[in-house]
């Protein structure tokens, strides 16, 4: 029973027998997301730019190298400790541009509002976006507003797309990864995901855990001024650092070895993860980046990162290896080795 879906002569690579409807996990950033994106979207839209699947597309317009990116934000709830959907939407797209080594310039905003959203909530979100754009030094230059009937949306969804410019000497690409490259993480993990979770479930921890949502473009600018021997930059949002490291291992065809003890995590976040039975490696961050840098410049880069407010807890968490290609291995606190795999979905849906 391998019934095929066909349209206009084109056959869907996912047979009907696998599943015939989109599941929540298809949006989780894990293996099911990858399957949907590869088999459905890439099989049809694929081209040399899209196929790289970077956070930003690298496009050439005349002599300019531009980065172009898009993200829709469907986070629930729309207000959470440390931020709201508005600033998240601005910083998220700013960060996707920065991860291509681009200087973010212009942002578009598309609102899909559910009928009945309070004007007061919309005002708060709008003001937060304005302040976030100012903080990140980007201009909101174009927009669109749609309203859908009550019950056909969830308060507000926001799409932001962005354009940035990349300096000619910057080359950030997973294929640049080399054995020996040091892996630097810019700070404490899992804060955004746990903040959303606690807001959603009305959980109270001893201290309020806040989302780490922040613009990373100035940190990246400083890093590129320190050295352009940065091979990869990624922000570990949906799916956490585990997912990002697995993606880079797969794309570079190299192994990744990390040390659990080197991964910064706040005590309260760690405790919350233990209570909730969640693995912080898979939890979303919204103000952190992972850099793969030439070993020669690693110490200097670490110093630069620590000098920036958004990188003050930076740590070298691991190294790229020839062994175990396409695999992420973590030396645990008790000295054993653990394979850090992709998971099929997101532990927390609608995290961003």
In the bound state with its own copies, the residue whose beta carbon lies nearer, of 27 and 255, is 27
Separation of first and last alpha carbons in the chain: 37
Q: Measured from the CB of residue 14, what is the shortest distance to its own copies in angstroms?
A: 6
> Which of 31, 35, 38, 57 touches its own copies by CB under 8 A?
57
* Phi and psi, residue 62, nearest 5°: 55, -125
Could you give the 3-state DSSP secondary structure of residue 334?
Answer: coil
**Of 116 and 325, which CB lies nearer to its own copies in the complex structure?**
116
**Which is nearer to its own copies, 126 or 307 (by Cβ)?**
126
- And the tokens for 91? 């910083």
Site for its own copies (CB under 8 A): which residue of 89, 94, 112, 340?
112
The span from the CA of 156 to the CA of 89, in Å, is 12
Give, for 219, the enclosing helix (H) or strand (E): helix 217-226
- In the shown chain, the binding pattern of residues 122 to 161 toward its own copies, with x for contact by CB under 8 A and - for none, equals xxx-xxxxxx-x-----xxxxxxxxxxx-xxxx--x-x-x
Of 61 and 275, CB closest to its own copies: 61
Burial 264-282 (b: 16+ CB within 10 A, else e): bbbeebeebbeebebebbb
**Interacting residues with its own copies between 228 and 247 (CB under 8 A):** none
Closer residue to its own copies in complex, CB, 71/181: 71
Peptide bond into 4 cis (omega under 30): no
Which member of 63, 202, 225, 336 binds its own copies (CB under 8 A)?
Answer: 63
Contacting its own copies within 163-192 (CB under 8 A): 163, 165
Handedness of CA 312, 317, 322, 327 (dihedral sign): negative
For strands 315-321 and 328-331, give the pairing.
unpaired
Burial (CB < 10 A; 0-12, 13-18, 19+), residue 154, is middle
* Cα angle 53, 112, 164; round to 5: 40
Shortest distance (Å) from residue 351 CB to its own copies: 10
Q: Show the site string, 24-53: x = touches its own copies by CB under 8 A, - = not.
A: xxxxx----x--xx--xx--xx-x-xx---
With binding defined as CB under 8 A, does residue 94 bind its own copies?
Answer: no
Q: Which lies closer to its own copies via its Cβ, residue 144 or residue 261?
A: 144
Binding mask 1-20 for its own copies (x = CB under 8 A): ----x-xx-x-x-x-x--xx
61 in contact with its own copies (CB under 8 A): yes
Phi then psi dihedrals of residue 213, to 5 deg: -50, 125
Q: How far is the CB of 223 from its own copies (least distance, A)?
A: 23
CA-CA distance, 51 to 44, in Å (whole number)? Answer: 11
48 or 309: CB nearest its own copies: 48
* DSSP-assigned letter for residue 3: P
Least distance from its own copies to the Cβ atom of residue 133, Å: 7
Q: Taking a C-beta distance cutoff of 8 angstroms, is the pair 316, 273 a contact?
A: no
Q: Least CB distance from residue 51 to its own copies, whole Å?
A: 10
271 binds its own copies (CB under 8 A): no
Contact by Cβ (8 Å): 340, 246 = yes
State the nearest-atom distance from the C-beta of 325 to its own copies, in Å. Answer: 27
d(CA 209, CA 198): 8
- The residue among 10 and 175 lying less far from its own copies, judged by its C-beta, is 10
d(CA 237, CA 240): 5
Q: Contact with its own copies (CB under 8 A): which of 111, 218, 292, 310?
A: 111
Residue 7 or 169 with smaller CB distance to its own copies: 7
Number of residues that bind its own copies (CB under 8 A): 91
CB of 36 to its own copies, least distance (A): 7
Task: Say how far apart CA 111 and CA 121 lie, in whole Å.
Answer: 13
**Which of 163/177 has CB closer to its own copies?**
163
């Amino acid at each position: 029973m391998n019934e095929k879906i066909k349209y206009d002569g084109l056959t869907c690579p996912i047979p009907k027998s696998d599943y015939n409807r989109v599941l929540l996990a298809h949006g989780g950033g894990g293996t099911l997301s990858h399957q949907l994106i590869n088999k459905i979207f890439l099989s049809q839209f694929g081209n040399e730019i899209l196929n790289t699947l970077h956070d930003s597309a690298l496009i050439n317009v005349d002599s300019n190298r531009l980065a172009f990116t898009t993200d829709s934000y469907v986070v629930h709830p729309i207000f959470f400790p440390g931020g709201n959907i508005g600033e998240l939407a601005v910083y998220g797209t700013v960060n996707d541009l920065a991860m291509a080594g681009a200087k973010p310039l212009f942002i578009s905003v598309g609102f899909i509002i559910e009928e009945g959203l309070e004007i007061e909530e919309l005002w708060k979100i709008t003001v937060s976006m304005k302040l976030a754009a100012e903080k990140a030094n980007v201009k909101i230059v174009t927009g669109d507003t749609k309203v859908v009937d009550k019950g056909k949306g969830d308060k507000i969804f926001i799409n932001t797309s962005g354009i940035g410019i990349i300096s000619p000497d910057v080359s950030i690409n997973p294929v640049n990864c080399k054995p020996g490259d040091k892996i630097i993480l810019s700070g404490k993990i899992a804060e955004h995901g746990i903040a959303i979770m606690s807001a959603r479930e009305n959980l109270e921890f001893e201290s309020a855990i806040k989302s780490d949502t922040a613009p990373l473009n100035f940190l990246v600018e400083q890093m590129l001024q320190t050295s352009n021997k940065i091979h990869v930059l990624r922000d570990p949002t949906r799916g956490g650092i585990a997912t990002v490291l697995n993606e880079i291992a797969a794309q570079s065809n190299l192994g990744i070895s990390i040390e659990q003890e080197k991964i910064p995590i706040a005590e309260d976040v760690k405790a919350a993860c233990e209570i909730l039975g969640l693995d912080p490696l898979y939890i979303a961050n919204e103000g952190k980046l992972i850099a793969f840098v030439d070993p020669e410049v690693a110490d200097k880069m670490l110093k630069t990162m620590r000098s920036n407010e958004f990188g003050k807890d930076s740590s070298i968490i691991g190294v790229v290896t020839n062994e175990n290609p396409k695999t992420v291995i973590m030396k645990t606190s008790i000295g054993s080795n653990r394979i850090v795999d992709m998971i099929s979905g997101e532990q927390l849906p609608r995290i961003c």
